[in-house]
Amino acid sequence: MVDGFTVAGLAGQSVSLTLDCLKIVKRYAETVKHAREETEKVILNVQRLKRSFDFLRRTLLELRHTNLDGLQHELRLDHFKSNMEELLTFMETLFDKPSSMSFWTKLSYPLKKRKIDGILRILQVSQDQAIDVIQLVNIRFSIRNAKAVESLTDSLQKYTPLEVAFNDMQIVAEGDQMSEKSKQPKIIRTWLGQVDMESRSDAYNALRHRLADCAYCGDWEGLWNVLNDAAEKFGENWVNAVRPRKLYDVEEMSFYTPLHQMVFNHASAAAVKKLLDMGASNLLRERGRDITERANNLPLEMAYDREMTYLYDLLTPKIRSPLSIPVLRALESRFHQLIREDLRDFVYNSKLALPELVVCTELRDEYISFPIYIDGAKKGYKFQLDRRELLVMRVNIPNDRDQSYLRISEDQVLSIAEPLVFASNAEPDEDDSGLSVEMDGV
């Protein structure tokens, strides 16, 4: 007997194949900027097909114990899978690893464009067929009525738009249907890894010390004022800032953030929530020694030691970009190596605290800036997670006005012309609170 569970597995394989197609064509769009218009059309149509396969899979799982022997031909699942396998192979050949903006890439593009038109026709036919199967299954087995199926069919035409990372610009093909949810203003995210006082002005250092003093003494009103001043005067978010030190003292730094100090001072839940809303990270560890005589405490661990039960929920990390620890470590290692290759001895001589990518897992569709001052010149990086990869923007590296983009995966660092991501907040989530994780899973 062929049941819904078995057939759903075939639909699931088609979903996986569409994801592979998306990765290939998005990589091409990032690398060959002049191919954007056509590749965007392919991307949005693959997305729509993926949504259709995914919904078909979920529908078939509702029929997991139902005999579908008589519907094998009408369901077309083997047909869909074989078509997607052929399409993936074709895309792998068509969108092979191009050299960014090279002469030969431009010369061959008109031929690729004609082939892309063929891909678009295949995708449209496949989606129409997938929707026919969805309607057939829902109506035949009375899972949803005709009106609900019609509404569902309309929703399957939507797609998640692309946007250029680091500048919040969405890319929408003219005439296509996109989610109506507007993008919310984003918090400035700053990694303050240059902790040496000699790198910045006296006024900057004085305000940083004032921030640290307010946090240490539990002066929360003073803390809010300094955070506002820092944003206005320096364009940085100091919500995770530590006290800067002379170069010879850096090794002895505790790396207590304002959030650690709030726990230390038994701050109210309202004060802690306000700091978190401003961008404080629950995943930064201090490097001093707390009352337990151990280092590397998360704010939540400190609250546990003090039995501050009213803070447990607030301080539990909310993971919005889930990523396995091995992948996270691999990305971080490659990113750190990139910085060391770019800045050479400056990293060691200035004792830079390089970015800990674990803080990115608390964010979704947001980047973090890492400003670096070398002999008074501002340089730096912007970085953000994109699923299992890291997008990086170099700013004024190696020279002033230089700007470049890279996509880092577990096994390579790829230069790209423009960083593209799917706007993950384009559609409202059923639960935007994120996934809660235990400390041991961090």
Q: What is the pLDDT of residues 71-94, one digit of tens each?
A: 666 666 677 778 888 888 888 877
Among left, alpha and beta (phi > 0; psi -120 to 50; other), residue 101 is left
- Report yes or no: 260 and 243 within 8 Å, Cβ to Cβ: no
For residue 372, the SS3 value is strand
What is the residue whose two structure tokens read 């979903």? 15
> What span, in angstroms and rounded, lies between the C-alpha atoms of 414 and 404?
11
> What span, in angstroms and rounded, lies between the C-alpha atoms of 224 and 316?
23
Q: Which among 242, 148, 158 is positioned nearest to 427, based on CA atoms?
A: 158
DSSP line for 191-257: -----BGGGS-HHHHHHHHHHHHHHHHT-HHHHHHHHHHHHHHHS---TT----B-GGGGGG-----
Phi, psi of 377 (to 5 degrees): -90, 130
Q: Which among 320, 321, 326 is positioned nearest to 409, based on CA atoms?
A: 326
Long-range CB pairs of 198-201 (<8 Å, 24+ gap) are: 198/246, 198/247, 199/350, 199/373, 200/244, 200/373
Q: Say what the pLDDT of residue 395 is.
A: 94
- Among residues of the chain, what percentage have pLDDT more than 70? 83
Name the segment(s) of the chain with CATH classification 1.25.40.20: 197-441
Q: Say what the pLDDT of residue 436 is.
A: 39
Q: Which among 42, 48, 32 is positioned nearest to 173, based on CA atoms?
A: 42
Q: Say what the pLDDT of residue 101 is.
A: 44
What digits encode the pLDDT tens for the residues 381-423? Answer: 999 999 999 999 999 999 988 999 999 999 999 999 889 888 7
What digits encode the pLDDT tens for the residues 178-222? Answer: 444 444 557 899 999 998 888 889 999 999 999 999 999 999 999
What digits encode the pLDDT tens for the residues 127-160? Answer: 888 888 888 888 778 887 778 877 877 887 777 7
- Mean pLDDT, the chain, whole residue set: 83
For the record, the structure tokens of 368 come out as 């973090």
What digits encode the pLDDT tens for the residues 359-371? Answer: 999 999 899 999 9
What is the residue whose two structure tokens read 């890894």? 193
Long-range CB pairs of 397-402 (<8 Å, 24+ gap) are: 397/342, 397/343, 398/342
pLDDT bin (cut points 50, 70, 90) of residue 99 is very low
Looking at per-residue pLDDT, the higher value among 70 and 269 belongs to 269
Q: Say what the pLDDT of residue 73 is.
A: 61
* Average pLDDT of the residues in 260-284: 97
- Report yes or no: 177 and 51 within 8 Å, Cβ to Cβ: no
For the record, the structure tokens of 332 come out as 């971080």
Which residues are CB-contacts of 164 (< 8 A; sequence separation ≥ 6)?
A: 171, 418, 419, 420
pLDDT bin (cut points 50, 70, 90) of residue 110 is low
- Report yes or no: 320 and 361 within 8 Å, Cβ to Cβ: yes
Q: Which among 353, 254, 236, 337 is positioned nearest to 295, based on CA atoms?
A: 254
Q: Say what the pLDDT of residue 245 is.
A: 87
CA dihedral of 183, 269, 211, 293, whole degrees rounded to 10: -120
* Average pLDDT of the residues in 238-249: 88
- How far, in whole angstroms, is CA 181 from its chain's centroid? 18
> What span, in angstroms and rounded, lies between the C-alpha atoms of 389 and 323?
10
- Report yes or no: 275 and 258 within 8 Å, Cβ to Cβ: yes
For residue 110, the SS3 value is helix
In Å, what is the CA distance from 408 to each residue of 23, 323, 333, 392, 405?
Answer: 14, 14, 10, 8, 10
Q: Which CATH class is domain 197-441?
A: mainly alpha
pLDDT bin (cut points 50, 70, 90) of residue 288 is low
Q: Which among 221, 200, 201 is positioned nearest to 211, based on CA atoms?
A: 221
Tell me which amino acid residue 427 is. E
How many other C-beta atoms are found inside a 10 Å radius of the C-beta of residue 185? 6
> What span, in angstroms and rounded, lies between the C-alpha atoms of 38 and 117?
8
Q: Say what the pLDDT of residue 253 is.
A: 80
> What span, in angstroms and rounded, lies between the C-alpha atoms of 249 and 259?
22
- How do strand 413-416 and strand 389-395 relate by DSSP bridges? unpaired
- How far, in whole angstroms, is CA 190 from its chain's centroid? 16
* pTM: predicted TM-score of the whole model, two decimal places: 0.81
